[in-house]
Amino acid sequence: ALNLDNIQGDVLEGFPKRFESFLFFQITNATLFRQKLKAVIPFITNTTKVLADTKAINEHKNNGGKGLLKLSHANIAFSAKGLKALGIADQLGDSFFTNGQLADASATFANGGIEDPGKVTGTTIDPAWDPLFKQEIHAVFIVAGESQLTINAELVTLTTLLLGSIKVLGTETGNVRPGNEAGHEPFGFNDGLSNPPVIGFRAPNTGEIPTKPGVILLGEDGDSVTRQAPWAKDSSFFVFRKLEQRVPEFNLFLKQNALKGPGLTADQGSELLGARLVGRWKSGAPIDRDPLADNPADAADPNKVNDFDYSDDPTEIRCPFAAHLRKMNPRNGAIPGLAGVQVRRIIRQGIPYGPEVTFDEASSGVTKHSRGLLFVCYQSNLSLGFHFLQRTWANNPNFPNATNGFDPIIGQAGNNPRTTSGTDPNNLTGQLNLPQLFVVPKGGEYFVSPSISALKTTFAA
């Protein structure tokens, strides 16, 4: 079994949350920081605590409890530059972590980069990121809670404990969407449905394939790299990406390119196109199971929502090969039996940010307020996980087969145009032009989320 007291709480279970803030900072005085970190560690929530609090929230809800339980949870993670600032010289054996996300985004595709758009000079890109993420970020606090007030109080507590040893660079704050949209990302799709069942943490539901703990946690069974530093065990690489979503533009595109078929109204045709771009209906029902119409009962049943593997769909009639879901986890249906799918599983714990779409934006089809996803994922290996999924599958129009096209949701082509295919069941080979990015990267960093014991022994003095 895994030592759930030792694993930071956001990694496997994810914080329960209405709001979540990410506070990015530099370490300005390493000696002082190490001394002061001791007092911060008791505020860092482990997995056991998150499980207990999540249970309490559910009981409160089921017993008809009024309001939200006041709760806040905190985690801390460090970039490679942060380790360097602290004088921690151990190599974690992951070059993408060592070089950082800005380096990944600054390399051209030909040179192995993840193809964020930006100004290209020779083999270098100046990605069009928010200035915050072009600074040298050493570390981040992740704080989640039931209200912004609670989170702010916790952030004040944490930064005060570190006073004189850090410089705050900036924060990003996300919020769960209101009402029935809770749990849905800004395009309207139910999210967080297909996180992998990690062996030693939770049992698989029908259709789910168990993931070895070492795919998510360093030094555990299934980790593909032998870690030199003993403290690496039970740590995880944490990817942060601020991804702006052009929701009015996406909706207008779905309307203008609505699929046509007997008995399909225009609205149904655009819903169907959206579902075929994502691989699930907005409810979360998988289109491999429900190719013709939404089926909210499938979405609501944990033993149905992942009970599919595309092996019934070699022609992409049910779900396009390039659909976001099928690109990111081809299950058994990219190339049947494709090796290496299971080592690329990631745990996603993101949260939407920004306001709901206004009437003005909806009617003009033009974004006027920044919104999107504060994307978070955990894995033990960036070259198998995030970096690979983004670069080698989402951004590669020839995966799994030549001319399948880009992942229409997150596929990037630098500043170049994109197409995708398989979206129209009546013309599966037809290419659909994607006029712009619907998901625009605004920056991020690669961090390590150390185990609690590593924080105590290696990070604090």
Q: Which residues are catalytic?
A: 191
Q: Is 278 in the site for ligand N7H (CB under 6 A)?
A: yes
Tell me how crowded residue 426 is: count the other CB atoms within 10 A of its CB.
9
Q: Please state whether beta strands 236-245 and 166-175 pair in parallel, antiparallel, or not at all (unpaired).
A: unpaired
Alpha-carbon distances, residue 275 vs 270, 341, 375, 397, 422 (angstroms): 9, 23, 21, 19, 12
By the rule CB under 6 A, 301 interacts with ligand N7H: no
| Residue closer to ligand N7H, measured from CB, 231 or 310 | 310
Closest to 101 measured CA to CA, from 440, 444, 379, 389: 444
Asked if 245 touches ligand N7H (CB under 6 A), the answer is yes
Q: How far is the CB of 120 from ligand N7H (least distance, A)?
A: 22
Residue 328 CB, nearest approach to ligand N7H (Å) = 4
Query: By CB under 6 A, how many residues form the interface with ligand N7H?
Result: 26
Q: What Å distances lie between residue 431 and 122, 173, 391, 418, 422, CA to CA?
A: 30, 37, 21, 10, 8
For residue 228, which amino acid is it? Q
Least distance between ligand N7H and beta carbon 358 (Å): 19
Which CB, 173 or 451, lies closer to ligand N7H? 173
Which 191-230 positions form the footprint of ligand N7H (CB under 6 A)?
Answer: 191-194
Encoded one letter per residue, x for contact with ligand N7H by CB under 6 A and - for no contact, window 44-83 reads ----------------------------------------
Q: Output 374 or 454, the one with its CB closest to ligand N7H.
A: 374
Kind of pairing between the strands at 236-245 and 372-379: antiparallel
Selected binder of ligand N7H within 117, 372, 405, 422 (CB under 6 A): 372
Work out whether 287 is an interface residue with ligand N7H (CB under 6 A).
no
295 near ligand N7H (CB under 6 A): no
Q: How many CB atoms lie within 10 A of CB 430?
A: 11
Piece in contact with ligand N7H (CB under 6 A), picked from 42-50, 384-392, 398-406, 426-434: 384-392
Quickly count: other Cβ atoms within 10 Å of residue 329's Cβ.
Answer: 23
Residue with tokens 């306001």: 355
Where does this chain touch ligand N7H (CB under 6 A) — which range of 27-35, 126-134, 181-189, 197-205? 181-189
By CB under 6 A, name the one of 158, 389, 434, 452 that touches ligand N7H. Answer: 389
Q: For residue 190, list its beta bridge partners.
A: 184
Helix (H) or strand (E) run with residue 60 in it: helix 47-62
Of the listed pieces 64-72, 80-88, 152-160, 382-390, which binds ligand N7H according to CB under 6 A? 382-390
- How far is C-alpha 355 from the geometric centre of its chain's CA atoms? 19
Does residue 251 touch ligand N7H according to CB under 6 A?
Answer: no
Question: Least distance to ligand N7H from the beta carbon of 303, Å?
Answer: 15
- Residue among 439, 440, 452, 454 that touches ligand N7H (CB under 6 A): 439
| Residues 134-163, mask of contacts with ligand N7H (x by CB under 6 A) | ------------------------------
Task: With CA atoms as reference, report the closest residue to 173 among 199, 136, 142, 202.
Answer: 142
Which one among 74, 143, 198, 243 touches ligand N7H, defined by CB under 6 A? Answer: 243
| Positions 315 through 344 that interact with ligand N7H (CB under 6 A) | 324-325, 328-329
- Residue 189 · residue 350 · CB < 8 Å: no
**What ranges make up the beta strands (E) of 337-427?**
347-348, 351-353, 372-379, 418-421
* Phi and psi at residue 310, to the nearest 5°: 65, 0
User: Would you say 277 and 323 are in contact if contact means Cβ atoms under 8 Å apart?
Assistant: yes
Nearer to ligand N7H, 26 or 441 (CB): 441
- Contact between 423 and ligand N7H per CB under 6 A: no
- Tally of residues, the chain: 461
Residue whose CB is less far from ligand N7H, 322 or 455: 322
Measured distance CA(356)–CA(182) in Å, rounded: 12
Alpha helices in 188-265 (DSSP H): 247-256
- Positions that interact with ligand N7H (CB under 6 A): 185, 187, 189, 191-194, 243, 245, 278, 280, 324-325, 328-329, 346, 348, 372-373, 375, 386, 389-390, 409-410, 439
